[in-house]
Structure 1
Amino acid sequence: MRVVSCPSEAAAVRSPHCIHDAAAPAGMPISDLDPFAPDFLAEPHAGHAALRDLGPVVWLARYNIAAVARHAEVREVLRDWESFSSARGVGMEDLERHDRLRLPSVILETDPPLHTASRGVLAKALAPARMKLFAEEVASKADAVLDAALTRGDICGVADLAEALPLAVFPDLIGIPQQGRAKLLPHADMMFNSFGPRNALFAASLAGAAHDWVEELGKLEHLAPGSLGAEIHRIAGERGYDPAEAGKLVRALLQAGLDTTVNGLAAALLCLSDAPGQWERLRAEPDLAGAAFDEAVRLESPVQTFFRTAAREVELGGFRLEPGTKVLMFLGAANRDPRRFDDPDTYLIGRNAADHVGFGTGIHHCIGRPLAKLEAETLLRRLAVRVARIEPLGPPERRLNNTVRGLASLPLRLVPAA
């Protein structure tokens, strides 16, 4: 990566996928880095460090957007919803200016007061008291998944654990029919790819799009009685939502509530298999299962990036941004910022990392976090009790996505505890 010194040089490296005609604010460092290139997505950490070192805000000349990679500025943008709007899209495209490939999320891509109302419905449905009602079912399914994995011994940590448990839990809790569930992960992959440029990754993922199917699943008639999806409809109805609006809330949960949990669990398995000392500590203290998951989300950051749009003229990192400027937040870079975290590239399950931004922060803090943590903590706790060692059997294979950092495969050997 190089620093580009003037606007004419910046134009020379402009990406064919660039859809913005904004100019860099005076004095802002300009970089030709492409954060959506395959080599960057596969190994982003050196690029993240370079961006952090360039300054609090950097202009990405390939796309004509501002970018923040330091923890302080990422957190500032996430928390200031009045200056940095989500309603104009959490992807590269400005939903006020560009054609829409997809319907905007009624949770991720809204601002108050609409966001407050929508979030209130899902927050009540996903309240901690309700999560306790699911705990026994999640535990039973975690044991079944682990039974199958231990029978094989040599497994793929992604397919046999990280995907297996959420796919066994999440669709049943939402209450969707059995038929078609295999579409959930490919559709989520396409959705997260759509937040970046319309590059080759995005084009390849379009085959997994299932917009009409997911839209249909949100309807009450397709949801099992007593399910979480039916509960969302009930709460929404009490608050004046019509059935179509309630269905959009279910759709939002279906699109964002599975893929991120899978990648968070895969990250935890990768970290624990690569750090035998941390695995031994977890075995000795299974109550650290939740902390082990949180630290993996910090270190590997399944959601690497999100966008905001400047809703008004605003100062960020000492620079004035014009209204309509797209701002790319590097959540993964912020979570490894040495200005905030000591020894940031090391996995430490005893770390106090309460303000990492892997789940976001502010009004858009991940609404599905309680359910994700229930699934992950349950599986990791049972692994700590039932498995003596997790041994890598080969290098993991990355699954590239414009937004999400995940694994396609993770060869592991599970050695049962005596």
Structure 2
Amino acid sequence: MSSKKRQLALNVFLHRFGHHPEAWRHPSSTDNGRPNLAWWIKAAKLAEAAKFDTFFVADFIGRSGEVTPQTGRSPQNYQFEPFTLLSAIAAVTEHIGLVATVNTNYDSPYHVARKFTSLDHLSGGRAGWNVVSSFGDHAAKNFGISEPRSHEERYERAAEFIAVTKALWDSWDDDAFDQPDRQAGAFYKPSSGHPVNHHGKYFTSEGLLDYPRPIQGYPVIVQAGNSETGLEFAAREAEMTYASAQSLEVAKAYYANLKGRMAKYGRDEDQLKVTPGLSVVVAESDQEAQDRFNELQQLVDVSNVSFGGFDLSSYDVDGPLPDLPYQADANGKGRFQQQLDLARRENLSIRQLVLRFRVSRGHLQAIGSVKTVADTIEQWFVERGADGFNVVPPYLPQGFEDFTRLVVPELQRRGIFRTEYEGKTFRENLGLNRPANPRDTRIA
């Protein structure tokens, strides 16, 4: 366990218009839906100026072939592919970590190992991998995949995917290409290469990665999952989790549960950062913040509601959530259960559940003055409901600008968040160890 003072981690995860489903309709949103690199660069620079740890880019891969009035209501998934976007951002930033989402169902370990190694070197050691193993029908059809994959199989496959990818990252010693011997005509020593010869259940890979080992050893491994299988996967593999919890009690239970699983894998608790999502609307006063949030809520359409893949449009939105069958292999079944538990526990109508859970995507909502928001963040951090937060602004750009202008200075004043970056790499700033190369024969 590290003796270094515990420090809050702050990540930002942006949708193009904001995480609230109707943010694109808000009067402050005037941009169109075309990809806009300048917008993303401005956001990344703002996050770095505020000393954020992470700029997090999701990838909701795959679209249905349906084009209907209902599908035309959402702008959320039309954005840049993560690696190309983060490569551009790497060129105009110096410190902030750059996390790209990659789904293990639609890629290969060799391809992913190359891309992350490249991004890590381009950025000077700031790459991170958000490992996703969801398997939606629409995405599968986009990739021509017809066979179903169970929840357990997806995680098992993802574990092997990571193992092969790490083996490829470890296929060269850290200094393999640092001292070419020009007189002898030896670009590298043969002993510095460690060919991969993997023949597993899901993947086969033979050979060497055609790029030096990442600066960080491995990019930081990020994962999101609330199911039992997801928790076990995170305890074994993850160095940061993107969790969801709407109460401190639930967050503390998740935190203790996850950290308590790490010892059996030989891992220290401080080598995994638990960062729940935080949906923030902050203003000079509690009332002003609530008024801004209400403007968004009034735009929500509850006429076509689905829940866990079930169409609820035939039910009274002001009536209770109907009994729904449990889906063992459903994507996001942890989130499904969270919503179901919330609706039953508080006797919420369908409309109330949408307005409580869906608009915040299941995350903690902090709506209020600077003091109100900072008090919430500090309490969750001090009481170990979180090591930090993944800030998910409901509307943009003002929502994130307000957070960096108002909340960050207050967290710095309280001494729980940095005023300057201390490390050179993403790992160093998070306080994570750099993994040694287990295949380097010089390491005792």
Q: Common fold, TM-score beyond 0.5?
A: no
Is the radius of gyration larger for structure 1 or structure 2?
2
TM-score (norm 2): 0.26
TM-score by length of 1: 0.27
**Richer in helix (by share):** 1
